[in-house]
């Protein structure tokens, strides 16, 4: 009947629109800027040491820290996912962002002081020092790498792919491979310092571009009050089933929700119930911001605790923006293009965006293609690239840190610093290859489902980790047995929910999944809360039934002892000592060999480019000393300033929550 | 005929307008949005105030912490009765100790020690009671008096030993 109303002509003229000089000039200019910032930062820090490469020499001030936290977090997944979910179900998805305002303060005030005085580089290393033994840190490394590949990398690549296909019509493989190679280039050579400075630049690009688009979309729809008024009537014109034998379309599948402008929704019937939004997202957020390597590594690179806190506050303020820059434009997109973004008939949706489930994911790319003038479209593409590259680069760098410092040093304890840095770089290339192989999987997965899968995976696997870290930092009594069995028990519980749900599929409004109520009835956020508490109880019970860890092993590893000046007898001391001895012997051997080699000019150039300083450094041991020892004392004046700022930020956040509740 | 067309189109228009308006309105709010925001802020500030009061009341209790829990200054000039001051500097990964020798009754003892906690106590004693010229480049310091002044007789250097004492 109304198949022609889809205006196929519009669709084909939209594709391939970035082909005019203004757009191309902006994109090329963007890439040049990013690469030059990367090269500049290469000369600023010494990348030859482990601390210099993985932790930027601990010299970062607050603004790269804050900007890098924001840019590492905001990926193309946010643009596509937030806008798409906002178009489909309203502003509650912004709760994910606004919850982070509080969690990021927990990071800066409670967790980072402990991580800093513990003197660790990676989170599994912290757990190893805190609990002793190797199984917990091994488990955490493996599951973190798994979660990176399955949640962060796949989400960002999928969203980048959606955007590229909608806005550019490029071949997906060419586009993604080019992007990954450029990202890998400045990640591999520059280390964390290059990442953090480029992230600062990317943050500007992201915010500027997103503001421009938001301005245009509000102008197009007629203002904020027009948004409020028109959203509830943004229904598609085709909503009758094309094949009534197979399915029927009930009105609630295509009508915008009544509570679309409420952040806090009904606990039983809402799609994002308010206990889940407040507590469930806080728990998953606790894992993401306070215990995950990507985020914590940026805080550890700061030059002092005050800078960490200021950076966290800056990140918090920036996290206020995604609601206005991504969720609202998504809703505007549905108002302006209800037949494409809000399509409901499966056959029509397949024609619009290639999947039957729904096309809300094209909300943001559709806006970019349709309402932005020439030149600014190039800017928006630069924004998406900025978001995608910054997140991917951070994940690459942190996963290489995890792999190098936790897994490789177990395999080869005698690895020298130079070898570790080389391994770190090679691992980035490996993970780029894995990401490229992931593209067909991403395409095969029905797109509308991917975000649900991602959020579910996080809710089912992250709460045990968050609970163990929280208890490790605050409760001295928790010991290795408790933590390990808590992690394993939590993992099993999460898998019990996750595997059946994957098996049955999440379904859609028209074709609901037949997952039994017992398994899938509880909302995934509520399940996360339950899992968190069960894991905590398990950890505490097992810890209290077994031997405690004495205080002498815990100085500066727990919050209550973070200022303690006493000596700590490391639980992993013997292992470290063996590793150090093996490393010293290996270095001696290398030094003897190096003196006999003749250095050619090219070798020397390559070595300088890669920042390897190993063979020239008789002060191989000294690189450890000039690194400032992590000191968590704070200047009182700055401490009060920073605390006051945090209070102000929390007040603003509470006001926004109250306004939109 | 034209008028009939106009009338029917007007009628159709009003009908469709009425139909459009039956699209469900949003949830009616009891209070205006800015008011709920202000209420939330006041509740939050009240909670903060209460927390500060509680913290102050709780910390007023005899806060007899053990001697060295508080953050100390960078330069400490200590005079301990038997003239022994220990400092422990903690490095995170490497264990090295380079201790310079010091003779008895020396005024300027500068130590640059970077020790890692290895489960053994490393002690550095300074000689000379009542001396002010000791500047230690340390980031973490601790005062604990342990041993009696046998230091004058011990000169042990090197990193392999349990205790590194020098004068």
pLDDT tens digits along A180-196:
887 787 777 777 888 88
Q: Please give the distance of CA B6 from its chain centroid, rounded to a whole number.
A: 77
Q: Read off the pLDDT band of A41 (50, 70, 90).
A: confident
Query: In this structure, are residues A241 and A345 in contact, taking their beta carbons and an 8 Å threshold?
Result: yes
pLDDT at position B146? 43
Q: What percent of chain A has pLDDT over 90?
A: 28
Each residue's pLDDT tens digit, A310-328: 999 999 999 999 999 999 9
Distance, in Å, from the CA atom of A186 to the CA atom of A460, rounded to the nearest integer, reads 34
Residue of A566, A575, A643 to mutate, interface with B, max B Cβ within 10 Å: A566
CB contact under 8 A, B92 and A120: yes
pLDDT at position A583? 76
Contact list, B36 vs chain A (CB under 8 Å)? 658-659, 661
Provide the mean pLDDT of chain A.
Answer: 83
pLDDT at position A169? 74
Contact list, B119 vs chain A (CB under 8 Å)? 567, 569-570, 573
Query: In this structure, are residues A590 and A151 in contact, taking their beta carbons and an 8 Å threshold?
Result: no
Each residue's pLDDT tens digit, A617-652: 333 333 343 334 567 777 889 999 999 999 999 999
Q: What percent of chain B has pLDDT over 90?
A: 13
CB contact under 8 A, B36 and A659: yes
Q: Which residues of A582-600 are buried (b: 16+ CB within 10 A; e: fewer)?
A: ebeebbeebeeeeeeeeee
A186 Cβ contact partners less than 8 Å away, ≥ 6 residues apart: A34, A35, A38, A39, A194, A195, A198, A393
CB contact under 8 A, B95 and A580: yes
Each residue's pLDDT tens digit, B22-66: 444 556 678 888 899 999 999 999 999 999 999 999 877 655 544
Residue of A659, A660, A661 to mutate, interface with B, max B Cβ within 10 Å: A659
CB contact under 8 A, B26 and A260: yes
Each residue's pLDDT tens digit, A467-480: 999 999 999 899 89
Place of tokens 């550095």: B124
Per-residue pLDDT averaged across B73-85, rounded? 44
pLDDT at position A609? 56
- Asked whether residue A612 carries a pLDDT value surpassing 80, the answer given is no
- Asked whether residue A46 carries a pLDDT value surpassing 80, the answer given is no
- Asked whether residue B81 carries a pLDDT value surpassing 90, the answer given is no
CB contacts < 8 A, A to B, total 107
A65 Cβ contact partners less than 8 Å away, ≥ 6 residues apart: A196, A298, A299, A301, A302, A307, A308, A310, A311, A312, A314, A315
- Asked whether residue A125 carries a pLDDT value surpassing 70, the answer given is yes
Residues of B with CB under 8 A from a CB of A: 20, 23-27, 33-34, 36-41, 44-45, 48, 68-72, 88-96, 114, 117-119, 121, 139-142
pLDDT at position B9? 54
Nearest one of A381, A356, A335 to A83, comparing CA atoms = A335
Contact list, B69 vs chain A (CB under 8 Å)? 563-564
pLDDT at position A435? 79
Between B137 and B54, name the one with better pLDDT: B54
Between A594 and A207, name the one with better pLDDT: A207
The interface predicted TM-score (ipTM) is 0.79
Per-residue pLDDT averaged across A599-628, rounded? 47
Low-confidence winner among A285-299, A584-598, B124-138 (lowest mean pLDDT): B124-138
Q: What percent of chain B has pLDDT over 70?
A: 19
Between A613 and A196, name the one with better pLDDT: A196
Contact list, B48 vs chain A (CB under 8 Å)? 647
Between A145 and B67, name the one with better pLDDT: A145
Q: Read off the pLDDT band of A89 (50, 70, 90).
A: confident
pLDDT at position B95? 45
Place of tokens 């305002």: A101
Nearest to B36 among A120, A261, A658 (CB): A658
Each residue's pLDDT tens digit, A342-375: 888 888 888 887 777 788 888 898 888 888 888 8
Nearest one of A160, A159, A169, A161 to A18, comparing CA atoms = A169
- Asked whether residue B159 carries a pLDDT value surpassing 50, the answer given is no
- Residue A302 phi, psi dihedral angles, 5° rounding: -75, 160
Low-confidence winner among A421-425, A632-636, A652-656, B157-161 (lowest mean pLDDT): B157-161
Nearest to B40 among A261, A647, A658 (CB): A658
Considering only alpha carbons, which residue of chain A is nearest residue B65?
Answer: A564
Give the pTM.
0.76
CB contact under 8 A, A655 and B37: yes
């Amino acid at each position: 009947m109304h198949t022609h109303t889809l205006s196929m002509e519009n669709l084909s003229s939209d594709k391939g629109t970035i082909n005019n000089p203004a757009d191309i000039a902006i994109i090329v200019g963007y890439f040049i800027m990013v690469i030059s910032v990367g090269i500049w930062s290469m000369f600023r820090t010494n990348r030859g040491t482990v601390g210099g490469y993985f932790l930027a020499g601990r010299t970062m001030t607050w603004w790269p820290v804050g900007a890098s936290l924001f840019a590492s977090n905001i990926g193309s997944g946010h643009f596509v996912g937030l806008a798409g979910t906002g178009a489909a179900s309203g502003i509650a998805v912004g709760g994910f962002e606004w919850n982070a305002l509080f969690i990021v303060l927990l990071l800066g005030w409670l967790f980072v002081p402990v991580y800093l005085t513990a003197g660790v580089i990676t989170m599994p290393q912290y757990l190893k020092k805190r609990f002793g033994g190797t199984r917990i840190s091994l488990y955490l490394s493996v599951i973190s790498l798994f979660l990176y590949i399955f949640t962060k990398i796949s989400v960002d690549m999928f969203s980048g792919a959606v955007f590229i296909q909608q806005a550019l019509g490029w071949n997906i493989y060419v586009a993604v491979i080019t992007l990954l190679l450029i990202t890998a280039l400045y990640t591999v050579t520059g280390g964390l310092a290059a990442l953090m400075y480029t992230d600062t630049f990317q943050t500007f690009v992201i915010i500027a571009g997103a503001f421009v688009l938001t301005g245009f979309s509000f102008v197009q729809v007629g203002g904020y009050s027009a948004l409020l008024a028109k959203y509830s009537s943004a229904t598609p014109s085709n909503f009758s089933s094309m094949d009534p034998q197979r399915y029927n379309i009930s009105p609630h599948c295509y009508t915008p929700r009544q509570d679309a402008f409420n952040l806090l929704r009904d606990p039983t019937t809402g799609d994002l119930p308010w206990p889940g939004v407040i507590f469930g997202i806080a728990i998953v957020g606790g894992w993401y911001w306070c215990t995950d390597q990507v985020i914590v590594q940026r805080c550890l690179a700061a030059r002092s605790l005050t800078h960490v806190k200021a950076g966290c506050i800056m990140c918090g303020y920036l996290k206020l923006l995604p609601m206005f820059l991504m969720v609202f434009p998504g809703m505007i997109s549905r108002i302006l293009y209800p037949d494409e973004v809000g399509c409901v008939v499966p056959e029509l949706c397949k024609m619009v965006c290639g999947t039957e489930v729904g096309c809300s994911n094209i909300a943001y790319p559709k806006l970019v293609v349709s309402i932005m003038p020439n030149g600014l479209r190039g800017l928006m593409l630069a924004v998406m690239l900025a978001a995608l590259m910054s997140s991917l680069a951070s994940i690459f760098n942190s996963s290489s840190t995890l792999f190098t410092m936790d897994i490789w040093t177990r395999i080869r304890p005698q690895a020298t610093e130079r070898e570790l840095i080389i391994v770190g770089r090679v691992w980035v290339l490996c993970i780029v290859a894995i990401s490229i192989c992931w593209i067909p999987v991403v395409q095969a997965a029905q797109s509308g489902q991917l975000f649900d899968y991602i959020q579910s995976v996080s809710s089912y696997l992250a709460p045990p980790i968050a609970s163990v870290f929280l208890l490790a930092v605050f409760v001295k009594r928790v010991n290795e047995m408790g933590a390990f069995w808590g992690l394993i028990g939590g993992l099993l519980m999460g898998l019990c929910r996750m595997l059946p749900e994957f098996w049955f599929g999440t379904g859609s409004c028209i074709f609901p999944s037949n997952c039994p109520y017992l398994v899938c009835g509880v909302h995934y956020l509520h399940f996360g809360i339950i899992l968190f508490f069960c894991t905590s109880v398990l950890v505490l019970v097992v810890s209290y039934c077994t031997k405690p860890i004495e205080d002498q092993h815990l100085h500066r590893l727990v919050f209550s002892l973070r200022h303690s000046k006493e000596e700590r007898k490391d639980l992993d001391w013997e292992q470290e000592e063996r590793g150090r001895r093996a490393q010293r012997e290996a270095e001696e051997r290398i030094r003897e060999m190096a003196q006999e080699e003749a250095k050619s000019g090219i070798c020397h150039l390559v070595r300088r480019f890669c920042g390897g300083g190993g063979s020239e450094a008789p002060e191989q041991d000294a690189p450890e000393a000039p690194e400032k020892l992590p000191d968590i004392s704070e200047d009182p004046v700055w401490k009060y300033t920073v605390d006051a700022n945090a209070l102000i930020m929390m007040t603003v956040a509470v006001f926004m929550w109250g306004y939109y509740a | 005929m034209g008028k009939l067309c106009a009338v029917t189109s007007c009628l159709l228009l009003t009908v469709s307008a009425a139909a459009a308006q039956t699209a469900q309105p949003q949830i009616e709010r009891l209070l205006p949005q800015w008011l709920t925001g202000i209420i939330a802020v006041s509740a939050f500030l009240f909670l903060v105030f209460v927390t500060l009061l509680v913290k102050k009341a709780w910390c007023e209790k005899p806060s007899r912490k053990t001697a060295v829990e508080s953050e100390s200054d960078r330069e400490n000039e200590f005079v301990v009765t038997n003239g022994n001051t220990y400092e422990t500097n903690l490095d995170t990964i490497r264990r090295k100790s380079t201790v310079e020798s010091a003779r008895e009754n020396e005024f300027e003892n500068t130590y640059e020690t970077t020790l890692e906690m290895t489960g053994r106590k490393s002690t550095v004693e300074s000689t000379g009671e009542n001396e002010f010229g000791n500047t230690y480049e340390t980031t973490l310091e601790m005062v604990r008096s342990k041993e009696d002044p046998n230091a004058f007789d011990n000169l042990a250097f090197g990193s392999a030993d349990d205790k590194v004492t020098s004068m």
